[in-house]
Structures are given as C-alpha cells and as structure tokens.
Amino acid sequence: MVKSMTGFGRAGKQSENFKVTVELKAVNHRYLEVLFRMPRVFAYLESKLKKSVAEQIKRGRIECAITIEGNKATKEKLVVNWDLADEYIRFMRQATERYQMTEPLNIQELLLDPRFLEIVEGNEPDSELENLLLGATTAASKRLDEMRAVEGNELALHLKHHLDMISKYLQEIQAFVPEMETTYRERLESRLLGYVGEDFDKALVLSEIAILLEKSDINEELERMGSHVKQFSHILLLEEPIGRKLDFLIQEMNREINTIGSKASHLEITNRVVELKTTLEKMREQIQNVE
C-alpha cells in the first residue's frame, strides 16, 4: 500500500482539569525522526510518545507540537537558598553592630530577591495529564496516517499511469528492433563492400556482422525492463513501507534504459528512450515522498 510521507494530524483530549492538543506535521525523511515541542517537565515521556507515533508512522520527519490548557501541569514549590540567606543575615547583623545602625533587618527584601527565594515547578507531573497526552498523541498519529494513506492513493494512481506509459514505450521499441537490426546489417555490409569490394570471404564477414549485431542487441535489456515493471506493480500492493524498494528499482530501470540508449542506433528507439528517461525521472521525484 502506497503512503505519502507528508501530512498533518491533530487530536485533543480533555478532562475536568486539563485540555491537551497534539499536532503532528510530517515531511520527507530517510528514516523516522520525531521532534517534540512540549513542556520540559514531560521530557521523560518522549520515548513513550515516540513509540506511540512509530506504531502508525514508519518513515518521515514528524514535528509534534503539544499544547496544554487548564490547571498547572505540575505542582509548584518554594525553593529557598538558605546558605545565601544565612550569609546575608550574618552580614547585616555585623554591619548593624559595626556601624551602630538603628534600622531593623528587613526580611521583605529577601522575599523579593529571586536569589534567595524562588517558586519553581515540581518534578512530578500530574498522572491524569500524562494519560491525556499519550491518548491525544495516539489519536493524532492515526489521523496523520489516514491523511498519508489518502495522499498515497493519489501517488499510486500517478505511478501506475507512468508504468503504463513505460510498458507502451517498451512495446514500441520492441516493434522497431527487427527494423533496426536489418538497417544495421545492411549498413555494415555496404561499408564493407565499399572498403574491400566484392573480393572478400563472405562467411567471415557475415560472422563479424553477427558479432557486431549481438553487441547491439537490446532484447535482454527489454526483457529485464518488462520484469522490473511487473515487480514495481507488485511492490505497490505490499502492506508495508515500500519507498526504498521503489527507489532502488527505479535506479535499476534507469540503468537498463541507459544501456538500451547506448546500444540502439535507431532514431525512433532513441526517441522512446528519451521519453522513458523523462517518465522515470517523474517517478523518481514522486517516490521520494513514498513511505
């Protein structure tokens, strides 16, 4: 089954206290890469969230943006730098005695200074929020996968159309092969006659012509191209990621077409080779977006 590597999935989960929204954006990538934008306190959940995404998505670069609304995701706590506060109090008392200061020590100054006292988030997130986050990520991954499948169906239609065109060009080339061989043989015989005249060993010349014709034979390449087309059609039906397989197969097909083009000295065949290379390039570009 053909699936695109681009798409978007969004899902939300809500409880009495929280509302979680997860947005997944997917683009092409050689492997599966999942990047998160979420509160730092949930960093420990990344492995679980990646596993949830990987159950649906096998390849692509996934950007995951998480939004949390509602009560505080974590409990806040008061952090006091007691060592620094003790130093401050000790200094103030010494300064009061040394300089005979009459003003009392102002504790409020300590409370206003973040160097002494700070409110920070705790290290233990709310378990209710964790469940909402995991559920929303799973739902968003499924919606992303559904969108990639829809786009993949469109890609499959284009690829099948290109395969039909390739099969058509191959049939046309095959039809020109006898004409190419006859023209090539006549051209070689004419040149030999021009060089040596009628006085030559015809058996030897015919043997040399046969060798040259064998070197220009493209039937084997045409057979392999036909086999590649069938294999390509079969891969499109597989229920697994197929992008890399198709990419490799396109390289093999392109190699066969290049060989046909270098061997065949026939205008119509050369024209079909150009069309084949153009079609293969279109397929190669589309395959870059197949999972």
Q: What is the CA radius of gyration of the chain?
A: 36
Report pLDDT for 271: 95
Report pLDDT for 63: 96
In order of their start, the domains of the chain are: 7-73+126-147 (3.30.230), 74-124 (no CATH), 152-287 (no CATH)
Identity of residue 92: M
What whole-number distance in Å separates Cα of residue 169 and Cα of residue 146? 35
* Mean pLDDT, each 10-residue run in order, the chain (291 residues): 93 90 95 89 87 93 90 61 79 77 68 68 68 94 95 95 97 92 77 66 67 79 96 94 95 96 88 96 95 93
Report pLDDT for 192: 67
pTM of the entire predicted model: 0.73
Report pLDDT for 92: 78
What whole-number distance in Å separates Cα of residue 80 and Cα of residue 205? 102
Report pLDDT for 121: 59
Report pLDDT for 18: 86
What is the token pair recorded at 70? 């509602």
What whole-number distance in Å separates Cα of residue 130 and Cα of residue 52? 13
H/E element, 228 = helix 219-235
Identity of residue 32: L
